[in-house]
Amino acid sequence: MNIRGRNKVSAEFNMSSMTDIVFLLLIFFMLTSTMVTTNALDLVLPKAKGKTDSNKNIAVSINKKLEYFIDKEAVPEAELESKLLAMMATDKNKAIILRAEEGVPIEKAVGVLDIANRNQIKVVLAVRPK
């Protein structure tokens, strides 16, 4: 008598579904990483642990030449406070992200902090992650 089971289990594994998932994840991360950009100048920032979020905030940058920028727009130091107050008039929940390049005297950064303190504006100091 020849009694054999009709259902045989195959030990093969099909990798095509796994490669589809990997390619979809790769495309997803490539697309989302291009959408994450900051509206700021290319400065060398001091290192620290932690992150800053720059959504809906005003970036104030100071480079080594002691030039002030508000969201990539050059601003004289004397007009910095008036320009910041004009920008803050539209949305009181905005904060200032202070981006002072390495080598900038601390007095310049403290000047921006003083402007924010006088006008009750939140300030975040941007740094490079370690």
Task: Tell me the pLDDT tens digit for each residue of 9-55.
Answer: 777 777 888 899 999 999 998 888 766 655 556 667 677 676 554 45
Spatial contact of 83 and 112, defined as CB atoms under 8 Å apart: no
Distances 128 to 44, 46, 54, 80, 108 between C-alpha atoms, Å:
8, 6, 14, 24, 19
Let me know if 111 is exposed, middle or buried by CB neighbors in 10 A (0-12, 13-18, 19+). middle
Mean pLDDT for the stretch of residues 48-65? 74
pTM across the whole model: 0.57
Q: What percentage of residues in the chain have a pLDDT greater than 90?
A: 23
Reported as type and span, the H/E element at residue 88 is helix 80-88
The backbone torsions φ and ψ at residue 64, rounded to the nearest 5 degrees and listed phi first, read: -65, -25
